Amino acid sequence: MNMRQDKIDVVYTWVDDTFPGYAEVLARHAGKPADTNPNRTRDNLDLLRYSLRSLRHLPELGHVHLLTCRPQVPRWLDPGAPGLTVHHHDAVMDAGLLPTFNSFCIVSHLHLLPGLSDRFLYLEDDMLLLRPGLMAAMADPDGRPLSHFTTRATVPADRLKPGDSPWNHALANADRALDAAYGPRPRHHAIHGPRIIDKARFAQVLDRFAPEVAATRAARFRANDNVPPEYLYPHAAVDEGWHRAATRAESDTVEGYVSIDNVLPLTRLMMWRMERRRPLTATFNDNFGARPNPRVVAFMRRWLQARFPDPSPYERADSTRS
């Protein structure tokens, strides 16, 4: 896969747990407290809105695809805007899998979106572009894509307990499957940042690990037998020789991870550190817990509005909330 292409589509996944009826559906299917963790479903900062505004830093932008559960559409979004398509889960997922609240399951269907370019940029809704240059940082000069990883090693399955988070179990499952397919080697977490995905090769990876993917898709919530496609694919791409593993410096250039906590001085410090580094992207991970601190929410909203004040072409003309 050569990265030298004029335009690239962007795919987002998004959900808002305040959308009418969503909380009731979630409660009917939830089986444990982690299933209703608001950190994964809350949209109190309108991060998707600002992420779309940040696409001004992506001159290679083709079409924007938003994948969400039916009938959700962000209240401020114009779903008929040129260059934008809103897809609902039932457009690409079997009815028997729905409703799903499992991000791993959802991501495993991204390549099936109608009209999607052969390669695309996957952004979670809390990821924003801070300055131009992302596509150049996602590939070698000859066009070979890069997989970006952190310094954090993946914990193997034999060191985990059943009560550890499904996220950690999923990483360990993926690692075990990768070891069986390509041979054992140390692997690290993928960065909290954009992913370059080739549709055909993504499908090939999912087929190679079909049993693990089937178990993942069958789980309405993240479960201990799942695998995260967003971790599986960049590692498999390196093992296959499609991608090169980025250096630490290259990954640091791309990733700007910030945990948004309820302690305002801590969040201010993390934001200051991120801005001082000047990464190409920022990921604002919701770590508010059950009750977001209004002072932290206000601080982040001021920062977002100051950094990205201009509406994107995808916003409704009558949308006034900032």
Q: What pLDDT digit, counting tens, does each position of 199-229 carry?
A: 999 999 999 999 999 999 999 999 999 999 9
Reply yes or no on whether the pLDDT at 3 is more than 80.
no
Q: Which amino acid type is present at position 173?
A: N
Reply yes or no on whether the pLDDT at 313 is more than 90.
yes
Residue 61 Ramachandran class (φ > 0 left, ψ -120 to 50 alpha, else beta): beta
Strand ranges inside 4-115, DSSP E:
8-13, 61-68, 84-88
Query: What is the CA angle 310-308-53, rounded to 5?
Result: 70
Residue bearing the bigger pLDDT, 43 or 56: 56
Q: What pLDDT does residue 37 have?
A: 87
Q: Where are the alpha helices (DSSP H) in 111-263?
A: 134-137, 166-182, 199-208, 210-218, 229-240, 248-254
User: Which helix or strand (DSSP H or E) is residue 25 part of?
Assistant: helix 22-29
Q: What pLDDT does residue 320 have?
A: 60
C-alpha span between 226 and 149 (Å, rounded) = 20
Residue bearing the bigger pLDDT, 162 or 54: 54
Average pLDDT over residues 249-260: 97
Query: Parallel, antiparallel, or unpaired: how do β-strands 188-190 and 149-153 relate?
Result: antiparallel
- Neighbour count for residue 68 (Cβ, 10 Å): 21
pLDDT per position as a tens digit, 101-140: 999 999 999 999 999 999 999 999 999 999 999 999 999 9
% of the chain with per-residue pLDDT over 90: 91
Average pLDDT over residues 282-311: 96
3-state secondary structure of 193: coil
Whether this model's pTM surpasses 0.85: yes
Q: What pLDDT does residue 116 have?
A: 98
Reply yes or no on whether the pLDDT at 161 is more than 50.
yes
Structure tokens at 68: 């969400």
User: Which helix or strand (DSSP H or E) is residue 124 part of?
Assistant: strand 119-124
Fold of 8-307: Spore Coat Polysaccharide Biosynthesis Protein SpsA; Chain A (3.90.550)
